[in-house]
Structure 1
Amino acid sequence: MLKTIPFLILFSIVLSLSDADAQRRTTYESLLQRSEQPSTYIDEALIPISDSTSAALVFFRLDYDFLPFLRTDSDMETPSEETEYYSPVRMGIEFFEGNVSESGRQNRTAVSVFRDFWSDTVWVNSFEETTSRFDHVEGLMWHEMKEGKYHYELQLGRGDSNRDLPSRRRNLNVPAKAETEKGSIILASSTTADEESFTGTLMNYGNNVLYGQDYELLIRFPSSADVTDGSYTLQILKRLPGNEDRTEEDPVFEFSVTADNMFHAVFESATPGKEGPVGFTLKKTESENGFAYAAISVPNSEFENAAYRVQLVADGQDEPLAQRDISSRWIDMPVSLYNLDVAIDQLSYIADESTIQSLNTGSTAEREQKFREFWEQRDPTPDTEFNELMTEYYSRIDYAYRNFSSMQTPGYETDQGRAYILLGPPDNIERRLPTDSPAREIWTYPNRTLIFEATSGFGDFKLISES
């Protein structure tokens, strides 16, 4: 029986939005390879300055495991004596007139209107930090743009390489105030405000928010909205798996926007991220001189790990005034939870064959619901969104794969792997190396002892005794 470990881990599952056939071709090993890919994020925001100009903010985040690190030299000036590795990072940006065509063909004769350059050096104290997906470097560049159509390209330089990697070119349309029929939504990890200004720290995970962590929304109203007399509601709807355009009918979160959440402001400044997180500051102004905003806190820690649509709606209108699609990002999510089929198949250690067959019938949405219900029935903390038991179970599968795999057998199918998945880490492991017999490992638990014997010289062990 699976032993519950009493510490808080996040609950739920990110499902691939591909079709069912593609999901069924997925293996644990392919998910592992995908989950280990380094992450990079690029995002942008347009914040009005005047009726005809806006601040175009382009910001990015690079995980440490994406960066090539170099060893420090003895004569190098470092932040501390413990510093062992460093990685120079540079990012250039160039804005061009006009949009890139829908076909993706780039106009190499496009007129350049602005260039900027950002650079920093990452210093770490250990090799483990160089492979971290939880640590990152981030930056921001911005420019005041007149109304019009533009596109931009980023150039990334890493380590001591002289070759910069170009990003794909992205379109950026800067509207005049009278043309802003749609509002915009900016994701922030935190905000502060007083009578004179509003400051936001950008989430900086693209269209992702961190699963289990609350966040802030800064919503700019379209110029056509009558904010002094209208009634507005923020809605967050769950997007259905398998179809990005479909959402559940009932919002998972609704918030009535009132004067207490609203203010008028214009862009004032941005922080590049070299000495802290990237962010921006708005200067509050009188109503007739500024642009209307609403700042709203989202209790994301209460939501499932899923895809959502955030929208601002006016009472009596069907078309949203502002809309943005986002997804949860669970950075250390167990590998199996990246795919529903794999997650269900891995239940074979604690569920019988008929249960697994039942979970595997129906549409993707139906199978997901049954999978959730399976774990909800075993949730040690049903009053919270987190399911410690489910996450511990799949984390043990990952541990078994990393520590007990051989050339022939994945770790979760070995005797030691199965024992670890069902019983967790032993209180004590003793390895014995007899002179004339194979090596043995003795795992001691409070109520049982397992003895494993080596079957080869490559770490393969089989269970030979249980007492």
Structure 2
Amino acid sequence: MKKYILLVIVLFSIPIAAQKKHKSIFIETHQFPDSTKALVYVSYKIPYNQILFVKQDGKFEGGFNFSIEAFKNGNVITREFSNKIVYANNYEKTISEKDFANGLLTLKLETGQYNLVPEIILKNTNLSSKLKPIPITIDTDSVHSILKPIVVSNQSADSSEIIKYKLVNMDGFIPFSKKNYGLIMPVRKELNNIHVVITQNTVEIVDTVLNKPIMNNCEIVDDGENIIIDNGKKFLNYKCFYLNNFSYKLKEGKFKVTLESGDEKENYVMQVYWLDKPFSLFNIEFAVKLLNVIGKEKAAGEIFSLSKEQYYKALVEFWNNNFPTKGFAFNDAMFEFYKRADYAIKNFAAIGKKNGAKTDRGKIYLIYGVPDEIKRKYSEMNNIEEIWLYNKLNKIFVFSDKSGLGNFVLIGKK
């Protein structure tokens, strides 16, 4: 029966947006060197909730100035900037963490060590912010024939049916999810193929040879909405190979990409990062204890019998064993459960019960998710009844708060 109850998490999942505050502004750099200089692409991605919007003529308008100063030996060598105007059709979009403004700047730099200093100035305000400097090294004396892979979202076609390869544009990470992400691998034009090996924690994920490039003169461009890799007009002496259908196998953490062609070989360490990871998973002991709330005391005890370093791995194994993912590293049930926990902690806490996930409403929410309908009844004695209806499951839960302080207690169910 307990297994059936847990299964509700998967079968009747309704997404709930817990209020997360992960990394908000993303910047990544990519170098295309030649014998004298390197063309450095600096792409950025800013969520709408970091932009100040003003309502005008029925829609919302915001914008910003994004600039990069390149410092060498303490001196500014060059500066580039771009102005972006962003529109939103409704207020909800202006506070969205999932809608982004993308942009791109290009720098031409000679051999040397640089600090790239980004700065954002918001339109409609006088606010400006200098972000963390990005150290880069340019070495045109020993030009690499195989460049670091670029993370792109799965290829898509626009209305003209032209294939576009969009940069994920999140600091070079592959987002941890079930979505399909790929790698673009720029190589010198004289190389005819490339052998790709991807490993993670000694496990081989990919071992393949790519013989056909997707484009013979690739460059990074801003198409107005996204940053894409295109068959460019700039002659950069690099062509691009493309690899996909592998990212779903990758777990959180680092992985190694080995690229080889003829006598040329490069090893790159990259990372899978859970961008919208539920907050409750950042405190691993707390996350394990939440299993007790749904009747999994034995599983929680087994995890706590291990060393602390093994807690997280064991917790992931618990979810994978109970809800197999059919080859995917990302577990939807685990994500949904802890996303619900975040919501319950915030919304069902009461006086004397700071952890809303352990309240009666929190426990029901963890197991069944969002009710199809919530009804409230009020009496003259400050008694409040809250009735949760799950129509698909044919279940009803009745909670009562006799104090008027939010301490709802389960008093009936059917």
TM-score using structure 2 length: 0.82
In the TM superposition, residue 125 of structure 1 has moved relative to its aligned partner by 3.2
For residues 316 and 358 of structure 1, do their structure 2 counterparts lie closer, same or farther at Cα, with a shift above 3 Å needed? farther
Residue type matched to 1:359 in 2? I
- Identify which of structures 1 and 2 has the higher relative contact order when contacts are C-alpha pairs closer than 8 Å and 6+ apart: 1
For residues 192 and 264 of structure 1, do their structure 2 counterparts lie closer, same or farther at Cα, with a shift above 3 Å needed? farther
Report the equivalent of 1:67: 51
- For structure 2, which runs of at least 5 residues remain unmatched after alignment? none
Aligned residue pair count:
399
Report the equivalent of 2:110: 146
Determine the C-alpha separation between the residues in 2 that align with 1:152 and 1:323. 22
1:456 maps to 2:409: no
1:97 maps to 2:54: no
Structure 1 residue matching 2:347: 3-state secondary structure: helix
Determine the C-alpha separation between the residues in 2 that align with 1:118 and 1:127. 25
Encode CA deviations 1:374-429: one digit per residue, 9 max, x unaligned.
Answer: 21232165455454433332233233223322243232121111122233344543
Determine the C-alpha separation between the residues in 1 that align with 2:296 and 2:173. 36
Report the equivalent of 2:206: 253
Residue type matched to 2:357 in 1? Y
1:55 maps to 2:39: yes
387-396 or 124-133, which deviates more: 387-396
For residues 363 and 126 of structure 1, do their structure 2 counterparts lie closer, same or farther at Cα, with a shift above 3 Å needed? same
1:207 aligned to 155, 172, 184, which one? Answer: 172
CA contact (8 A) 1:349 1:422 kept: no
Residue type matched to 1:155 in 2? E
In the TM superposition, residue 158 of structure 1 has moved relative to its aligned partner by 1.5
1:187 maps to 2:148: no
TM-score using structure 1 length: 0.73
Structure 2 residue matching 1:138: 3-state secondary structure: strand
Report the equivalent of 1:157: 121
Encode CA deviations 1:37-68: one digit per residue, 9 max, x unaligned.
Answer: 461111111123x4323211111111122223
For residues 147 and 263 of structure 1, do their structure 2 counterparts lie closer, same or farther at Cα, with a shift above 3 Å needed? farther
Structure 2 residue matching 1:336: 3-state secondary structure: helix
Structure 2 residue matching 1:171: 3-state secondary structure: strand
In the TM superposition, residue 363 of structure 1 has moved relative to its aligned partner by 4.2
1:271 aligned to 216, 221, 224, which one? Answer: 221
CA contact (8 A) 1:183 1:322 kept: no
CA contact (8 A) 1:43 1:58 kept: yes
In the TM superposition, residue 323 of structure 1 has moved relative to its aligned partner by 0.8
1:355 maps to 2:299: yes
Encode CA deviations 1:7-43: one digit per residue, 9 max, x unaligned.
Answer: 7899xxxxxxxxxxxxxxxxxxxxx88x324611111
User: Identity rate of aligned residues, in percent?
Assistant: 21
Residue type matched to 2:404 in 1? G
Structure 2 residue matching 1:405: 3-state secondary structure: coil
Mapping for residues 8-23 of structure 1, pairs under 5 Å: none
CA contact (8 A) 1:185 1:324 kept: no
Determine the C-alpha separation between the residues in 2 that align with 1:235 and 1:434. 68
Encode CA deviations 1:156-186: one digit per residue, 9 max, x unaligned.
Answer: 1114333422223333333226443763222
1:114 aligned to 70, 73, 78, which one? Answer: 78
Report the equivalent of 1:298: 244
Determine the C-alpha separation between the residues in 2 that align with 1:149 and 1:121. 33
For residues 453 and 60 of structure 1, do their structure 2 counterparts lie closer, same or farther at Cα, with a shift above 3 Å needed? same
CA contact (8 A) 1:334 1:394 kept: yes
Give the superposed CA RMSD: 3.5
CA contact (8 A) 1:380 1:388 kept: no
CA contact (8 A) 1:8 1:388 kept: no
Determine the C-alpha separation between the residues in 2 that align with 1:425 and 1:124. 28
